[in-house]
């Protein structure tokens, strides 16, 4: 117990002393930024000498590779007689093949599909919940009915504004 407390005190004091230097935080920021761009360069397959896709496609390629590994590992783990290291190796090879050979157009369509899905969930859930509160709860008197009418009109206006701004931002009519 005493040894672990001494180690904790030493760790905290050394981190305070190191962070007191002025260039330390700037170096951490630069190093973190370089590490992030290196990961994105791997996703863009820049190390293979191919045309570098944009950073979004690199990020999507990395996420698809991770997802493919998980799915392949789950599929390979049910094969009887296959050891765990062999299953991991097969899953890694298949996931790398999927993420490297998947064309940029397919990655773009996957990313846009998930973007539409999450935008619908993020914008649709509060509107649906508000409409349920307005239309699904009892209305005991006229003042509550007027408040609910204002709420319905506000929800309709909000939906029309979402369509208007989506057309301005993306050029797609909703």
Q: Is a pLDDT exceeding 60 seen at residue 18?
A: no
Q: Residue range 122-144: average pLDDT?
A: 83
pLDDT at 88: 93
pTM above 0.95, yes or no: no
In this prediction, residue 47 has a pLDDT band, given cuts at 50, 70 and 90, of low
Residues 64 and 98 sit within 8 Å (Cβ to Cβ): yes
In-domain check, residue 9 = no
Q: What is the pLDDT of residues 24-44, one digit of tens each?
A: 545 556 666 777 777 777 666
Q: Has residue 93 got a pLDDT over 90?
A: yes
Q: Is the pLDDT of residue 72 over 90?
A: yes
What's the chain look like in SS3? CHHHHHHHHHHHHHHHHHHCCHHHHHHHHHHHHHHHHHHHHHHCCHHHCCCCCCHHHHHHHHHHHHHHHHHHHHHHCCCCCCCHHHHHHHHHHHHHHHHHHCCHHHHHHHHHHHHHHHHHHHHHHHHHHHHHHHHHCCCCCHHHHHHHHHHHHHHHHHHHHHHHHHHHHHCCCC
* CA dihedral of 9, 14, 16, 17, whole degrees rounded to 10: 140
Residue 126 clears pLDDT 70, i.e. is over it = yes
Average pLDDT, the chain: 77
The answer on 165 and 125 residing in a single domain is yes
Q: Does a structural domain hold residue 14?
A: no
For residue 3, being part of any structural domain is answered with no
Tell me which of 51, 70, 102 is where a domain ends. Answer: 102
Residue-number span of the structural domain to which 119 is assigned? 104-174
Confidence grade of residue 4 (pLDDT, cut at 50, 70, 90): low
Check whether residue 78 and residue 129 sit in a common domain: no
72 with 128, same domain: the answer is: no
């Amino acid at each position: 117990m005493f040894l672990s407390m001494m180690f904790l005190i030493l760790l905290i004091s050394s981190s305070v002393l190191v962070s007191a230097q002025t260039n330390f935080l700037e170096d951490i920021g630069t190093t973190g930024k370089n590490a992030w761009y290196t990961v994105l360069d791997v996703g863009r397959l820049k190390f293979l000498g191919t045309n570098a896709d944009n950073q979004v496609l690199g990020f999507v390629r990395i996420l698809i590779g991770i997802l493919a590994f998980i799915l392949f590992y789950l599929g390979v783990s049910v094969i009887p007689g296959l050891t765990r290291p062999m299953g991991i190796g097969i899953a890694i090879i298949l996931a790398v093949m999927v993420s490297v050979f998947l064309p940029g157009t397919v990655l773009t369509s996957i990313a846009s599909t998930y973007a539409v899905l999450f935008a619908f969930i993020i914008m649709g859930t509060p509107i649906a919940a508000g409409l349920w509160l307005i239309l699904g709860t009892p209305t005991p008197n006229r003042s509550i009915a007027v408040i609910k009418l204002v709420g319905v009109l506000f929800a309709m206006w909000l939906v029309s504004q979402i369509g208007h701004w989506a057309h301005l931002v993306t050029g797609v009519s909703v």
